[in-house]
Structure 1
Amino acid sequence: MRLLVLGTGVMAKNQVANFLAIDGVEVVGAVDTDLVRLAEFADHFHIEKRFQTLEEAIAWGEFDSATNVTPDRIHHATSLALIAAGKHVFCEKPLAENYADALEMTETAEAAGVVNMVNLTYRNVAPLQRAREMVLAGELGTIRHVEASYLQSWLVSRAWGDWRTESRWLWRLSTGHGSNGVLGDVGIHILDFAAYGAATDIDHVFARLKTFNKAPGGQIGEYLLDANDSFTMSVDFTNGALGVIHATRWATGHLNELKLRIYGEKGSLEVIHRPDGSDLRGCFGEDIETAIWRDIEVPAVLTNYQRFAEAVRTGKQDDPTFRHAANLQKVIDLAIVSEKERRELNLLEASEQDSPADKRIPPLTVVV
């Protein structure tokens, strides 16, 4: 697979390191409007071909796939250009800023017959994959309740850098710079973590969003800090379970932690993922009476990067697809509407609602 890297920021470095570890993958070019950042990135990974625009890279054309690691609002136009050129696309999350754009990207990719995948990175967490297998095998019985949280502390900690002075963080706090806040940034991760792990989908949502004052006048330089910092959701799942999902950047003491608890009639599971590792615990059988939780061993799984490379090699589509990510984007869009209107929304009737971008939200295609 000959891979083009579009965008050479922090996440691109992580992606390329993973792609280069795969046999048969060659990173043949890189694109960035920032020439200094581009040179540093390309020098580090020994990438010869360097382009300041995607148009230049497409005109060159000596690649068959691309990873789109641009800011959120750039995903739509750049992915469509790549698809039009017949290139397979691996796109960072979220797929787009709204469901209408995400659906257009999905339908265009499907019509073109190119491999399309979204880097929902926590699919790489082996305990999550094993939890889903156990749910699908009926080991938990009927699922009744689901809890999921995504906790970060970079608004109170400098462990990853200082958001007050670094543009790579500041843009994530500003809707004017293409951010939908913590809901748009990591909300898609925890929604996928919950629904995928519990082997179901969301069909109703009621959400609350909160933006806290972080600077005098709510602004730092050109960045108006108006994107949401925290959200909570009450959701209904298509399997009949009730769920609570929340995320925040104010979780002091939690650098980057995802947690999922799935409660069923026969047993329960807990998945925890932190920067230093992942765990799966369960409570089953006689342990239910004494509330004893035991560790469950989990085999390694293929990463999104490995599965994308294999999909390109074989021409066989793999998950998570653009369509799946678009459906998650629909939940995010309606969560924003739910906050504004202070009411629960039914995703199956969402064609009657307006998205935050005043674009009609087509009916959801449920994909488990």
Structure 2
Amino acid sequence: MENNRTTTTPSRLRAGFVGAGFMAEVHSRAVRAAGAEIAGIASSSPASAARAKDRLGVEQAYASVQDLLQDDTIDVIHVCTPNSTHHALAEAVIKAGKHVVCEKPLATNVHDATKLTELADAAGVVATVPFVYRFHPMIREARERIASGQTGHISTIQGSYLQDWLLTRDDDNWRVDAALGGPSRAFADIGSHLCDLLEFVSGERISRVGALSRTVFSGRANNKDVQTEDLVAAVFTTEAGTVGNLLVSQVAPGRKNRLMFEISGADSTLQFDQEAPETLWLGKRAGSQVLVRDPDALSPEAARLSVLPAGHPQGYQDAFNAFVADTYGAIHGDIRDGLPTFRDGLRSAVLTESIIESSKGGEWVDVPYLKELEGVQK
């Protein structure tokens, strides 16, 4: 029987990679699942690219990024490098006339993110950012239930994204260094995913924020003067007047990758937990239920992303695979609802700068409105 829910694209694109770390491995699995070839890779050095070629099964290692960009047989470039390099690399990819998938944050400031968004629009290339949690089927189910009015008028939104991989002073990573990761760490790294989901699912935009941040360790194993935050707490309001709060931490013991949100409306509450992505909790005054992913009982978009039958768990890599497949589908002219583009990356940069400003000043901050975000299809 033919599976009409598949997200595999119809022809074989040739993808190139810049960067050879953990995220490159995740991207590589998604590229193959989408039926494309990993044609080339460039990294921090020719030796690093050569090692990655063998490890990831890439067709060719390039001595430099410029050599990779000059290969006219490559259709799309995945930028999987430290945050501070994203702007220059994505700009070079677009100017080379290629489609681009750029890891988030799109840029470490709003100015650069705006330039990239305008450049991608002018060039007419497909330019996406991996806000991949959008691609869990139960996220699409939650979104559809709110959009169709089943939840009722939204009153409150709460969310958290908790990890423990930087729990101790001995834990360290390049992201801790503001020169590489940018002025925000915890929020830009994982809070961006949380806020993207809150807006994507609710259909509402955060308009004002009041934030507090804390750096638990002023020095770590390799970074002795830490300027980036370990955690952020914030309250917010949306353009529609909904009240919300969020907590983001990379120092929460026992939490590995716990992204959770709860949206309450007049008729019901929806709760999603990324560590249990096969279910959606539905709460009502008369009782609650746990909705388990079953493509035969879900909304069309949720069913499309359910590439496995009910009872066969899907997870993070499946969501990433769907994101890449939809990106490649857009390159072929098949643009799917909910594909996160550079505009969404710009939106994230705007929110990040607002959080930084509020936490430093200790006051409420109005989230700026940018003309570049007009007409965004969430």
Q: TM-score, normalised by structure 2?
A: 0.84
Within the candidate set 156, 164, 171, 2:170 is matched to 164
CA deviation digits over 1:227-286, x for unaligned, max 9? 100001111112321110111011111111110101000111111111x644211023xx
Q: What residue in structure 2 maps to residue 177 of structure 1? A: 180
Distance 2:198 2:375 in 1: 15
1:193 positional shift: 1.5
1:323 is paired with a residue whose SS is helix
The unaligned stretches of length 5 or more in structure 2 are 1-12, 296-302, 306-321
Distance 2:103 2:232 in 1: 21
Distance 2:59 2:371 in 1: 43
Q: What residue in structure 2 maps to residue 231 of structure 1? A: 232
Distance 1:47 1:118 in 2: 22
Paired letter, 2:290: R
CA deviation digits over 1:199-241, x for unaligned, max 9? 2111111111110126xxx243455322100001111112321
Q: Matches of residues 100-139 of structure 1 in structure 2 within 5 Å?
A: 100-139=111-150
1:316 positional shift: 4.4
CA deviation digits over 1:114-149, x for unaligned, max 9? 001101121122211110110000001100000110
1:331 positional shift: 0.8
Q: What residue in structure 1 maps to residue 340 of structure 2? A: 320
Distance 1:246 1:52 in 2: 42
RMSD: 2.2
Distance 1:105 1:36 in 2: 30
1:73 positional shift: 0.8
Paired letter, 2:175: R
Residue 100 of structure 1 contacts residue 362 of structure 1 at CA under 8 Å; is this kept in 2? no
Residue 94 of structure 1 contacts residue 184 of structure 1 at CA under 8 Å; is this kept in 2? yes
Paired letter, 1:145: T
Q: What residue in structure 2 maps to residue 81 of structure 1? A: 92
Q: What residue in structure 2 maps to residue 337 of structure 1? A: 357
Distance 1:298 1:52 in 2: 47
Q: What residue in structure 1 maps to residue 310 of structure 2? A: none
Distance 1:34 1:256 in 2: 31
Q: Matches of residues 1-368 of structure 1 in structure 2 within 5 Å?
A: 1-23=13-35, 25-156=36-167, 164=170, 169-179=172-182, 180-213=184-217, 218-221=219-222, 224-274=225-275, 277-284=277-284, 288-289=285-286, 291-299=287-295, 300-302=303-305, 303-314=322-333, 316=335, 319-348=339-368, 365=374, 367=376, 368=378
Paired letter, 1:210: R
1:293 positional shift: 3.5
CA 1:315–1:103: 2 relative to 1, 3 Å: farther
Distance 2:324 2:372 in 1: 30
1:292 is paired with a residue whose SS is strand
Paired letter, 1:307: D
1:99 positional shift: 1.0
Distance 1:61 1:141 in 2: 51
| % same residue | 27
Residue 126 of structure 1 contacts residue 298 of structure 1 at CA under 8 Å; is this kept in 2? no
CA 1:111–1:181: 2 relative to 1, 3 Å: same
Distance 1:41 1:337 in 2: 39
CA 1:39–1:363: 2 relative to 1, 3 Å: closer
Paired letter, 2:116: M
CA 1:31–1:315: 2 relative to 1, 3 Å: farther
Distance 1:139 1:255 in 2: 32
Paired letter, 1:297: R
2:69 is paired with a residue whose SS is helix
Distance 2:111 2:61 in 1: 32
1:363 positional shift: 8.0
Distance 1:344 1:98 in 2: 20
1:329 positional shift: 1.1
Deviates more, 1:48-57 or 1:329-338: 48-57
1:314 is paired with a residue whose SS is coil
Distance 2:118 2:344 in 1: 12
1:36 positional shift: 4.0
Q: TM-score, normalised by structure 1?
A: 0.86
Distance 1:207 1:364 in 2: 23
2:173 is paired with a residue whose SS is helix
